[in-house]
Amino acid sequence: MAGTLDLFEHEPGPPEPIAEGAYLLRGFATDISTQLLNDLQHIAEAAPFRHQVTPGGYSMSVAMTSCGELGWVTDKRGYRYSPVDPQSNQPWPALPESFEQLAIDAAATAGYPQFSAQSCLINRYETGARMALHQDKDEQDLTAPIVSVSLGAPISFLFGGPTRSHQPARVKIEHGDVLVWGGPSRLFFHGVAPLGKRADHPLTGPVRYNLTFRKVL
């Protein structure tokens, strides 16, 4: 049983700086991960995961949904935030209390007090899914940090610099880890390497979920 327990237990540690203004909070969400996953499933029932299409016509390998006041969407019209789910024309599911409090607490721990999330983009990674290097720049308020929560299978996070040519650092991200970045690194390029064939976690199997909280306006 000890080996199984180790897969679930991931003791929180102090914020680890990965760049100026960017911190990794290892195990920060582990204790409430079951509640987060339960709330996530309720969100997905109301607003199912879908593979969105970029303005260039590329179908994203990562399946997505959203909750909160605004959801991030992409189609031939471009990247943007919308108050309604384009598939249902209904408002996105409300931000669960567990999500909202976690985002506030993680931001404060990383040195960003009074953070308020208006949007949570939920990404579902399955074997081979990846996210190319990109900037989070569709928000009007760039003074607020990004809070990114990882649940399930481990993956390699890529954190670069202010230009796409900057060689990114590879950071192993595990279940319950939270990344927070803002200030000087708010517009740094970032992404994730493809989810490996052997990636697995007892709570999610070969799937990794990512909750990305943003203040948009």
Tens-place pLDDT, residues 188-197: 999 999 999 9
Q: Residue 206 is part of a domain; what is its CATH number? A: 2.60.120.590
- Positions in the chain short of pLDDT 50: 1-9
Q: Which long-range contacts (CB under 8 A, 24 or more apart) does 87-90 make?
A: 87/47, 87/48, 87/50, 88/47
Distance, in Å, from the CA atom of 182 to the CA atom of 141, rounded to the nearest integer, reads: 11
The domain of 187 spans 2-214
117-157 pLDDT per residue, tens: 999 999 999 999 999 999 999 999 999 999 999 999 999 99
Task: Count the neighbouring beta carbons within 10 Å of the beta carbon of residue 206.
Answer: 16
In the 3-class helix/strand/coil scheme, how is 27-74 assigned residue by residue? CCCHHHHHHHHHHHHHHHHHCCCECCECCCCCECCCEEEEEECCEEEE
Q: Structural domain tally of the chain?
A: 1
